[in-house]
A and B are shown apart, each in its own frame.
Chain A
Amino acid sequence: MTIEEIETLFTRVESAEEFAFIEQTIESYQRSYCEVYRRFRQKYLPVSAFKHAEITTFPVSEAERIFLSSSTGSDLQSRHFVRQVSVYEASVCGAFEAVFGNGSFTIWAHLPGYASESSLVCMMEILMRKYGDEGSRFFLKNELPEISRLSSPLLLFGAAFGLLNLSEAGPWKLPERARIVETGGMKTYRREVTRSELHTRLAKGFGITNDRVWSEYGMCELLSQAYAQGGMVYVPPPWMRVRVVNPNDPGQIMQEGEPGLLAITDLANMYTVSSILTEDLGVRRGKGFEVLGRFPGSALRGCNFLIEDL
């Protein structure tokens, strides 16, 4: 199977065997053409590599788009060179349709502070174009667009703390069928509430029930996303495998319910590196996973109750 063939069929992966076959083909391709990955010699490349090196299997001048991570001033930004936006679009749409269906929806994206180079902005552009009706839009102000004239079910996407600020500018009363999709924290904020609290506060602030607060897990360095359909457990699409590994020994896979680092293989990352060691702590829950919080390597210093039972 060639990489071009994988491009067209990776979202149709169904079995573990198919995944393993494509994974092996892609890994071999990436070892051949990505210099950093060839030298790395381990499976899961630390996500910070996207900050410090050009992680590609092709000349960066050929990238159709470059995703940049959000920046906190002096921090280096991750750069994800996207060879073909169509691959990203296939992944975004496949994951979306699997959980939301194929629309149409009124899609609102509240993304203040996000630059146009953000992968999240690109994802929302795709979703609005493919599944959004004429009321779909980005908005930055701490004020909801007009609610009374919605012609289709509302999906309100936004970064966790931006949505929290927006909810506190209310009270708001979203339609009963509306769903909020929080896309995780923003690195520019200190996280002072738990996710469970966050969902409760969002539900209350927007006048909907807790089960209508959904979540999306994605990052600049990955071209695929996992969704939690209410509750805390994200389920990855079939072309994205999430393992939980021991932070002290990433070769060791943790048991169900035991916390560890999320190690992700994303077949959509075929032109960069597919197997990434994140800096997120999580636990495996059945076919999905829960995210407990940020966990850079330095977090192993000092004490961390997140890796113990509290």
Chain B
Amino acid sequence: MNSLIAALSKVAHGWCESGSQQSRVDDAVRATLEAPNQFTYEAMAFAIDQQMSEITESALHEWIQGRRPKKPHIVGVINAGNIPFAGLQDLLAILLCGHTYLGVLSRKSPYLLPAFVDSIRSEGLNLDADFVEPDEVWERAESVIATGGDEAIAQIRSLASAKGIPSQRCLFRSNRFGVAILDGYETANDWENLALDVLLHEGMGCRNVALIFAPEGLEPDDCLHHLAKIRSLFPPHPSTPGRLTIPQAYLAAINQAHAYGDGLEFLISKGEPEAQVPGHVRWVGYKDFDEMIVLVEGLYKEIQCIVARESIHTMLPKGWSVQPLGMTQRPALDWQPDGVDTIDFLCNL
């Protein structure tokens, strides 16, 4: 275990900018940008740097806390490809628990995870990790991890059941989104962080902010300004304006208040708390905190994370896990998708 942790930390360091793994990283990035996804070079660089910076020896030990499963299993993972390095946490968790990893790669992002595994192997470690076709997962896996909408999960649940994998050995996560709560005292730095929460990875992540709750009377001008500013650091993927064309035309047709960036690089609209397509954020007004809390509670099962200025965290319900603005795309190693501790799940198989 300690040798694995040391190797992971070393490899992660090498994956950071100008590290020892640079040529391998460059190759993986180049190939990934050619895949059918909405990744941009800038967002990929951000994701790689952020995720790798989390993988330190101390963070890995703190995450695992000495937990081990009673016996090793073969764990199949149906990997998502919506953002760069989706599925890295599952890979690390499975390896650290001593299970065998069988990953199905998304055709949107089939290069990053294998390149990372190759890097670990180049440190002389013999990893129980393979990337396989879906059929092989259903033939060999004793346990399954997957994320998706209701219908997708129904399909996977059906396959798992047909292959005799009991439900307690399946970890199915649903599609979710992030929300931001504003109180009207946001600084320029806060607005910039919020813009990152909305637009990084073109809004495709399950943690990206889809709804902004703002006190009535607060207009989204600052938000618009910083969304535009962030677009100069993280230019849009060429597909984003196309995705926003119909929503924008629709908002215009039904006279719903909205604004958008030059060339439809982003879209913001006022209205009901309903998540829209990635790149389109909904601005939801609230009269007071009580009303906002009721609105958020009503959506809680769909929410992956909540961000707000740190000074208002204590004013929000204690049961909510609230993070500072700007943290949606900087998840810690031990974050719990859908509120489930992946290590606990893997240790109780």
Contact = CB atoms under 8 A, between A and B. Distances in A.
A45 interface: yes
B151 A294 contact: yes
Nearest to B207: A302
Interface string A280-308: 01000000000011110111111111101
Contacts of A40: 249-250, 252-253
A108 interface: no
B275 interface: yes
Contact of B152 (A39, A298, A305): A305
Given A297-B277, A301-B206, A191 B242 contact: no
Given A298-B177, A298-B210, A191 B275 contact: no
A302 B252 contact: no
A95 to B, nearest CB: 25
Contacts of B62: none
Interface residues of B, number: 51
Contact of A308 (B81, B151, B253): B81
A294 B304 CA distance: 20
Interface stretch (A121-129, A174-182, A244-252): A244-252
A68 B169 CA distance: 42
A185 B324 CA distance: 40
B247 interface: yes
B36 to A, nearest CB: 9
B282 to A, nearest CB: 10
B210 A302 contact: no
Given A37-B253, A249-B243, A308 B106 contact: yes
A305 B105 CA distance: 11
A146 interface: no
Given A52-B256, A302-B177, A250 B152 contact: no
A303 B175 contact: yes
A197 interface: yes
Contacts of B81: 303, 308
Contacts of B154: 191-194, 197, 293
Contacts, number: 146
A191 B108 CA distance: 26
A261 to B, nearest CB: 10
A98 interface: no
Residue with the greatest number of chain B CB neighbours at <10 A, chosen from A194, A297, A298, A308: A298
Contacts of B252: 39-40
Interface string A239-267: 00000000111110000000000000000
Interface in A128-155: none
A250 B246 contact: yes
Contact of B274 (A250, A298, A303): A298
B150 A298 contact: no
B102 to A, nearest CB: 15
A96 B249 CA distance: 36
Interface stretch (B46-54, B141-149, B217-225, B227-235): B141-149
B107 interface: yes
A46 B177 contact: no
A192 B304 CA distance: 21
Given A293-B149, A298-B210, A49 B254 contact: yes
Residue with the greatest number of chain A CB neighbours at <10 A, chosen from B86, B154, B208, B246: B246
Contacts of B146: 305
B349 to A, nearest CB: 23
A39 B249 CA distance: 8
A277 interface: yes
A41 B251 CA distance: 12
Contacts of A193: 154, 158
Contacts of B277: 247, 297-298, 300-301
B155 A194 contact: yes
B103 interface: no
Contact of B246 (A46, A52, A194, A298): A46
Contacts of B276: 297-298
B72 to A, nearest CB: 26
B58 interface: no
B80 A303 contact: yes
Given A37-B253, A298-B277, A249 B175 contact: no
Given A44-B246, A46-B250, A250-B246, A301 B177 contact: yes
A306 B250 CA distance: 25
Interface in A188-206: 190-194, 197
Residue with the greatest number of chain A CB neighbours at <10 A, chosen from B78, B134, B155: B155
A17 interface: no
Nearest to B106: A308
A298 B184 CA distance: 27
A142 B316 CA distance: 45
Interface in B184-212: 203-206, 208, 210
A309 B147 CA distance: 14
Nearest 6 CB-CB pairings of A with B: A293-B151, A303-B80, A298-B275, A302-B206, A297-B277, A249-B242
